[in-house]
Amino acid sequence: MDTLFSDQNAQKAEKLGSLIPEWLDKIYAENWFKLFVPKANGGLALGFPEALAVEEKLAQLDGSLGWTVTLCAGAGWFVGFLEDSLRKEVFADPKVCLAGSGFVGGKAEIRPDSYLISGHWTYASGAVHATHFTANCEIWDKGKVVLDPEGKPLVKAFILKRTEVEILDAWHYMGMVATGSHAFKTSELTVPRNRSFEILPERAKLSEPIYQFPFMPFAEATLAVNILGISLHVIELIQASFWQRHERKPFSADQLAYFIRLAKKSEKRLQKIRATFYKKVEKAWKELEECNQLSLTSQQSISKISRKMTGRCRKVTAALYPFAGLEAAKTETELNRVWRDFNTVCQHSLLTFPF
């Protein structure tokens, strides 16, 4: 696996701007886009802790790889909220891949037996090879926005086919280049009523516990393990670069001792919070399996540890980065690419604040 996800192949993916065919073949073979999909629909049906471990490992191999799998598998999790006929139709394709955007960028006008959708959505990771897209829309009826019970615009998600949208070349950022997180749009598209769904535990169509996991802590935890995985990769490469520098021009005994202490302390801090994170996830998952719902306390616990772990990753990588030397600034190096991935993914708004 390490050969398949080598630096050479990662460079190819970055130049291509999407996952290379060899990686996609492996993903399809392992069903990684369907981590949360029932086995009856060709998925792995993994428990939440198991899926997070897979996502962390993939992110450590390559940031774009882990992120694309995580976001597409996360969209695949919506299988639990789809009507039976739509679920069977969408997941009949063994290479099904859902890309989506959390942005409410569309307007869906109610028609007698359908919706008329127009909109523009951003940051759809995996857009290049997606078979379907998920798009959030405000619901309108007779020229007026429909309000939910709290008086806010009613928002529903929709499944759109690849052939029904136009992908816009909009992902021009320094890192996570191979995610192909482009924008997409559609105009006055007629969509059947059964293509809409709401991501709420009470709206789940399948009974498995995973579909009772509230969306926000689910998303925060999956993003956090990606940041962790990329952090571990960055730190590994920083240490390798430091020792290569030492071979060319030896550091003093005091300098070596300082770096060794810092590296050990950093690794210990990350492993400690990683263990805490998975312990809390396991506890929450057990609660969900036993009670079929997650208490507010557990939801807040997952959210808090996800943000705390992300903050710890930022601090640790920032402390070690200067010791990599100019090698870290060479745009063609593996270290530079992984560092760019890390600093791009850390900009995600969901985990910006520590609270």
User: What is the predicted pLDDT for the residue at 1?
Assistant: 58
Cα–Cα distance for residue pair 148/89, rounded to 1 Å = 29
Q: What's the N-to-C CA distance of the chain in angstroms? A: 37
Q: Which helix (H) or strand (E) holds 205?
A: none
pLDDT for 65:
98
pLDDT at 220: 98
Where the chain has pLDDT below 70, the residues are 1
Right CATH number for 7-81 from 3.40.190.10, 1.10.1200.10, 1.10.1740.10, 1.10.540.10?
A: 1.10.540.10
Q: Two tokens at 18?
A: 């999407």
Give residue-wise pLDDT tens across range 83-135: 999 999 999 999 999 998 889 999 999 999 999 999 999 999 999 999 999 99
The Cα 198–Cα 136 span in angstroms is 10
Cα–Cα distance, 238 to 193 (Å, whole number):
52
* Domains 7-81 and 98-203 are alike in CATH topology: no
- Domain locations along the chain: 7-81, 98-203, 213-351
Instruction: For residue 113, report the phi and psi dihedrals to the nearest 5 degrees.
Output: -125, 20
pLDDT digits (tens, 9 = 90+) for 229-240: 999 999 999 999
Q: Residues 210, 215, 219, 221: is their CA dihedral positive or negative?
A: negative
Q: How many CA atoms lie within 13 A of 222 on its CB side?
A: 23
Query: Can you tell me which residue has the tokens 């280049």?
Result: 177
Q: How far is Cα 108 from Cα 157, in angstroms, rounded to an integer?
A: 10
As assigned by CATH, the class of the 98-203 domain is mainly beta
Q: Which CATH architecture has domain 213-351?
A: Up-down Bundle (1.20)
pLDDT digits (tens, 9 = 90+) for 280-291: 999 999 999 999
Tokens of 11: 């460079």
